[in-house]
């Protein structure tokens, strides 16, 4: 899968949690979704892309969830 698609999907997941008033819970929700539904290869590819691009273009919740 292309990195651009992974970024788009990760941002969509993060936007789902925009209505969560507790930021820590929102980040945990993103992290849990990535752990539960993404393959290790997808998570690794997104993390590598994020590192190479300084997280630019990723929702801040996704960047936090990847740490």
The DSSP result for 5-19, as a single string, is HHHHHHHHHHHHGGG
Q: Give the model's pLDDT for residue 26.
A: 98
Q: Give the model's pLDDT for residue 25.
A: 98
Q: Give me the residue label for tokens 């941002």.
A: 11
Q: Give the model's pLDDT for residue 22.
A: 98
Give me the number of domains the chain comprises: 1
For 18-64, write each residue's pLDDT tens digit: 999 999 999 999 999 999 999 999 999 999 999 999 989 999 999 99
- Start-to-end Cα distance in the chain: 22
Contact by Cβ (8 Å): 46, 5:
no
CA 18, 37, 11, 57 torsion: positive or negative?
A: positive
For residue 37, what are the domain limits? Answer: 3-66
What CA–CA distance (Å, rounded) separates 59 from 42? 17
């Amino acid at each position: 899968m292309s990195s651009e698609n992974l970024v788009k999907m990760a941002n969509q997941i993060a936007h789902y949690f925009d209505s969560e008033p507790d930021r820590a819970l929102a980040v945990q929700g993103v992290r849990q979704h990535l752990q539960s539904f993404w393959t290790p290869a997808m998570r690794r590819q997104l993390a590598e892309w994020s590192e190479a691009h300084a997280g630019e273009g990723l929702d801040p919740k996704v960047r936090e969830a990847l740490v």
